Amino acid sequence: MGKIGRNEQCLCGSGRKFKHCCLLKQQAGLVPRSPEQAFKISLAHEIDLIQKAAAEGKQKVKELGVFILFSTVVGDAWLLEISESDGVQLARGGVALDVPLDQQPETIEINWSHTFAFPNREFEITAYADRSVQTLTGYPTKEIHASMKRIKKKFSAEQLGMVHVKQDNQNTVVPSA
């Protein structure tokens, strides 16, 4: 995973800037967690937060590494991974869904259910299971697209290419990209 900037949000999930949170703890030798460990904790934490925002009908968009998490005012929430345009729904109609997430010491496995695209500035998903296509309206496509651009500026094409490791028809996300 790329080095976190001092002014970016801390990976521990506190909501504070890194320089005011774990950077000080790291410099004092109080944070033994690796960046990968912090990322995994933060991903699970951010999934919980975005599901809560969806339950409250709040629109929210959050960037985390190569991921974008978002919720809508109708209570839907998604986790998107930008290197291969994969996605999985986290909430529907304000109800949190089970997250197909398996965290191991070196990897995070996510069973992606859809791919996503933005034709005509609308959020379009294609299901892996049956290749059905849906266009979902009222989603924050402008904000998601802007987040994608920011993430692609942070990571090189080579780094983005190392995110997925194919194993037994499953996608494994390696947080060290």
Question: Does the pLDDT at position 79 exceed 90?
Answer: yes
- The answer to the question of residue 84 being in a domain is yes
For residue 44, pLDDT beyond 70: yes
pLDDT tens, residue by residue, 128-153: 999 999 999 889 999 999 999 998 88
pLDDT of the residue at 34: 52
pLDDT of residue 10: 76
Please tell me the pTM assigned to this model. Answer: 0.70
CA 71 to chain centre: 12
10 Å Cβ neighbour count for 138? 12
Position 163 confidence tier, pLDDT thresholds 50, 70, 90: low
Residue 28, in any domain of the structure: no
Q: Considering the domain boundaries, does residue 119 fall inside one?
A: no
DSSP 111-157: ---EEEE-GGGSEEEEETTT--EEEE-S--HHHHHHHHHHHHHHS-H
Pair 89, 77: CB distance under 8 Å: yes
**Full domain range(s) for residue 97:** 33-113+139-173
Q: What is the pLDDT of residue 58?
A: 95
Tally of structural domains, the chain: 1
13 domain-assigned: no
